[in-house]
Amino acid sequence: MGQPLAPMPHADDPRWTRPIITLLNISALLDVGYELLKLWAVGESRTVLGTRVTVHHPVAPSMGGSHGMQVLVPLVGVAALVFMKAMRDAGAPGDAVTGVLREVEDRHRLRPVAAHSAARAVLPPALATVAEEEDRPGLLAPIERTDDGWRFGPVVQRALGGFSYDLHGWVEAVDVPLAGEVTVRLSADAEGPRTVTPRDPVDAAQAMFRGGQSVATIAVALGLSPEDVESALRRQV
């Protein structure tokens, strides 16, 4: 195991311990299927010959999820899910990506590494190495080679551009762009997303509706009730 690139925050840091959104709601926000997000956040275990075996390791911290409990996600989990969505959108195979994440997290003692600014430097070359050594060319889809080495391509760069970090490199807030040029922010000091642009939730609701989003998704994204969204939409000229 290598040396840590940055100190891990205190055990009770709210970015790890305070749930700010349900997995069901982040599914609507990111427009990613719930079962796929659950695989990333909870993982999957199966019983083989009487022994419980983990077949998919989670890469995004979460709470709940067992015995029918609702899955809740803290800020660092949100960051990891946004990152995984960007990797998928760029064409990378999810199972191979999670393996690289676990290896890098163990090596540098950063968990989840996707929630740290060092991800931009350490993950692209790690992906390239595994792509070559294990003949997994799909891992090259989200990265590109430059004169200075490997870096993330535009899809992942755009997603990480919405992350704000503290002085130690850990995520403090995640901005998620939505339809209609609306941006919402998730942070540990606010339960659920809040609108960044436009700041007026009525304007945001109308813009998202024009962009094709449903009332239910708009309600989740803006932290409004469906009734409030419908009221805002009725105000359109």
pLDDT digits (tens, 9 = 90+) for 71-98: 999 999 999 999 999 999 999 998 899 9
Whether 87 maps to a domain, the answer reads yes
Whether 59 maps to a domain, the answer reads yes
Q: Are residues 217 and 28 in contact, defined by beta-carbon separation less than 8 angstroms?
A: yes
Share of the chain above pLDDT 70, in %: 92
- In the predicted model, what is the mean pLDDT of residues 195-210? 80
Reported confidence tier of residue 4, pLDDT bands at 50, 70, 90: low
pTM of the model: 0.86
Give dist(CA 227, CA 94) in Å, integer.
37
* CA distance readout (Å), 112 to 26, 68, 118, 210, 235: 18, 25, 11, 36, 43
Strand ranges for the chain from DSSP E: 21-22, 44-48, 51-56, 72-73, 143-146, 149-152, 163-165, 171-178, 182-187, 194-197
Give dist(CA 123, CA 201) in Å, integer.
36
Residue-number span of the structural domain to which 76 is assigned: 14-234
The confidence score (pLDDT) of residue 68 equals: 58
Q: Which of 50-59, 170-179, 200-209 shows the lowest mean pLDDT across its residues? A: 50-59
The confidence score (pLDDT) of residue 216 equals: 85
Reported confidence tier of residue 102, pLDDT bands at 50, 70, 90: very high
Whether 6 maps to a domain, the answer reads no
The confidence score (pLDDT) of residue 213 equals: 83
Specify the number of domains making up the chain.
1
* CA distance readout (Å), 106 to 3, 100, 102, 128, 140: 10, 10, 6, 18, 22
What is the three-class DSSP state of 32? coil
Give dist(CA 215, CA 107) in Å, integer.
44
Whether 46 maps to a domain, the answer reads yes
Whether 2 maps to a domain, the answer reads no
The owner of tokens 């790690």 is: 126
Whether 148 maps to a domain, the answer reads yes
The confidence score (pLDDT) of residue 3 equals: 54
Give dist(CA 123, CA 101) in Å, integer.
8
Whether 206 maps to a domain, the answer reads yes
The owner of tokens 């003949």 is: 135
The neighbour count for residue 220, using CB atoms within 10 Å, is 24
Is the confidence at residue 45, as pLDDT, over 80? no
